[in-house]
Amino acid sequence: MNQLNVSTQQSIIALYERGWSQRRIARELRLDRSTVARYARLAAKPATIPAHGSEPKPATNLTHGSASGAEAKPATNPAHGDPPGPPSLCTPYAESITAAVQAGLSAQRIYQDLVRDHGFAGAYGSVKRFVRRITQRYALPFRRLECGPGDEMQVDFGGGAKTTTLGGGVRRPHLFRAVLSHSRKGYSEVVWRQDTESVIRCIENAFRAFGGVTATIVPDNLKAAVIQPDWFDPEINPKLRAFCVHYGTTVLPTKPGMPRHKGKVEAGVKYVQNNALRGRRFASLAAQNAFLQEWERSVADRRIHGTIRQQVGSFFLQAERPALRPLPSALFPSFEEAPRKVHSDGFVAFARAYYSVPPEYVGCQVWVRAESRLLRIFNQRFEPIAAHVRAEPGRFVTDQGHLHSHKRVIVERGAAYLLERCRLLGPHCGAWAQGLIQQRGPEGLRVLQGLLALAREHPIGPLERACAQAVQRGHWRLREVRRLAAEDERVVQVDFLQAHPLIRDLSHYQLEP
């Protein structure tokens, strides 16, 4: 929750006690109405009853500075929840309402019970306001969580100072801020973009500036870091997850809609904006980053932090720097990464070039990671499924292992493969195929494919005899083999037996002279 400075708080309270409306105070002080309402409630808090049952002192009129300027207002009992002014119609039922609130009943249910059981004549809005005051009185305070040395680094983005671009225009870059939760040591940097690569490089630069790595990184749910926000099981950007593996750290995003989970860096961003950048303008992004680096050293590190009550830079070197994990030997490799859908032809497009993937991923979503010379493709579980050398735009890169057997052209396997298949049909088919290649050269490859197709149309016997005749006659056209095989099938050969044990010999039928 944002805290206003003391002078602004006193201004709100003073104006509210003078009778100004919350809307008018918010307009004059340029504040949010909810902020004004929060501090106005502080002014409306009643005096508490002293111990031992003694009479409360009359409240003084703060506008005139003494009790003589106006009649003293009687103190109210906070147990009844009455604000200054006319007593609430719910006051006689304060104990019943308090017990119902503690039992977890809603304001609507409490109102219905009051009407039914006690004949309550007030409106539902009166009960709702009374319940709200009781709920606020019984609300539990937030718990502060402090981290050990090297445990956590909180990161966030804000708006930087006005900067001149290369084209001569003026823009406000994104201000990145990282704060170590134990020592409050900070790192600041401005970048033009807030994409995943920029976030990773900012975090990496922060680690290098600190001289070590924290156990966890706590960002909010920005799209560049978190694909699907979820307090229990968020989906982290795969590139950021690979960065964490490289540096040996873990990303733990805040709960959606809970900025107080990273309150240290929330205050840190405002500190940079108000102390370092407000009212300044820079000629370039590099000039602003150079200024922030010097400001961190000369101002931010030398301040006495209001929470830890120590000088930030000295406390960091003494308490947290030794506890940081060591930096890896190399920087995180630079690469581009993006989701892609596999086209119906089995390719994915990246940087206007096309790369094959296994056929079972057609129509699926995959992750493409492009390095300087290599392109890797991963499935949704981030398991590697393909790797290719980077190609020029317009080129197709095909891994032969990604071609399905039904889509693989047999001619692509070469003459040796086709000749071996023809020899398996029979010796005459193999001889004809060998002679065909010798006579017709590379154009005979498709003819051999046709001979293999004939084996599916004709029995092997007629095809073998047709190839034998074609070799004898020197015919090297497929149509001749097809014709000879068809004629061989039409010829019916009848082989007569010369003798059979069931048939009498002809000599038995000879007539005697």
CA 44 to chain centre: 46
Q: Tell me if 63 is assigned to some domain.
A: no
Q: Which two tokens stand for residue 498?
A: 């010369």
In the block, which residue shows the tokens 């989701």? 339
pLDDT recorded at residue 413: 67
pLDDT recorded at residue 17: 80
Task: Please tell me whether residues 363 and 283 are part of one structural domain.
Answer: no
Task: Please tell me whether residues 392 and 441 are part of one structural domain.
Answer: no
Task: Please tell me whether residues 272 and 173 are part of one structural domain.
Answer: yes
pLDDT recorded at residue 81: 44
Q: How many domains does the chain have?
A: 5
Domain boundary residue, one of 383, 407, 431 = 407
pLDDT recorded at residue 75: 41
pLDDT recorded at residue 51: 43
Task: Please tell me whether residues 181 and 313 are part of one structural domain.
Answer: yes
Task: Please tell me whether residues 11 and 106 are part of one structural domain.
Answer: no
CATH code at position 211: 3.30.420.10
Domain boundary residue, one of 323, 347, 382 = 323
Task: Please tell me whether residues 353 and 368 are part of one structural domain.
Answer: yes
Q: Tell me if 244 is assigned to some domain.
A: yes
| DSSP β-bridge partners for residue 369 | 337, 376
Q: Rounded to an integer, what distance in angstroms lies between the CA atom of residue 357 and that of residue 43?
A: 69
pLDDT recorded at residue 337: 82
Domain boundary residue, one of 84, 115, 139 = 139
Q: Tell me if 330 is assigned to some domain.
A: no
Task: Please tell me whether residues 117 and 179 are part of one structural domain.
Answer: no
Task: Please tell me whether residues 195 and 270 are part of one structural domain.
Answer: yes
Q: Which two tokens stand for residue 305?
A: 């932090």
Task: Please tell me whether residues 302 and 236 are part of one structural domain.
Answer: yes
Nearest CA-CA partner of 153 in 324, 351, 355, 399: 324
Q: Tell me if 392 is assigned to some domain.
A: yes
Task: Please tell me whether residues 465 and 446 are part of one structural domain.
Answer: yes
Q: Tell me if 496 is assigned to some domain.
A: no
Q: Tell me if 377 is assigned to some domain.
A: yes
Q: Rounded to an integer, what distance in angstroms lies between the CA atom of residue 157 and that of residue 219?
A: 9
Tally of residues, the chain: 513
Q: Tell me if 68 is assigned to some domain.
A: no
Query: What are the strands, taking DSSP E only, across 301-460?
Result: 336-341, 347-350, 353-356, 365-370, 374-378, 384-389, 396-397
Grouped pLDDT means (10 residues each) for the chain, 513 residues = 73 81 84 85 57 43 39 42 66 89 88 90 89 76 78 95 92 96 95 93 96 95 91 89 94 86 90 94 95 95 91 95 95 86 91 91 91 88 90 89 64 75 90 89 84 86 90 89 84 57 67 59
Q: Tell me if 428 is assigned to some domain.
A: yes
CATH code at position 344: 2.40.50
Task: Please tell me whether residues 235 and 351 are part of one structural domain.
Answer: no
Domain range for 7 is: 1-44
Q: Are 352 and 340 in contact (CB under 8 A)?
A: no
Could you give the count of Cα atoms lying within 13 Å of 469 in the half-sphere of its Cβ?
Answer: 16
Nearest CA-CA partner of 270 in 262, 261, 278: 278
Task: Please tell me whether residues 161 and 304 are part of one structural domain.
Answer: yes
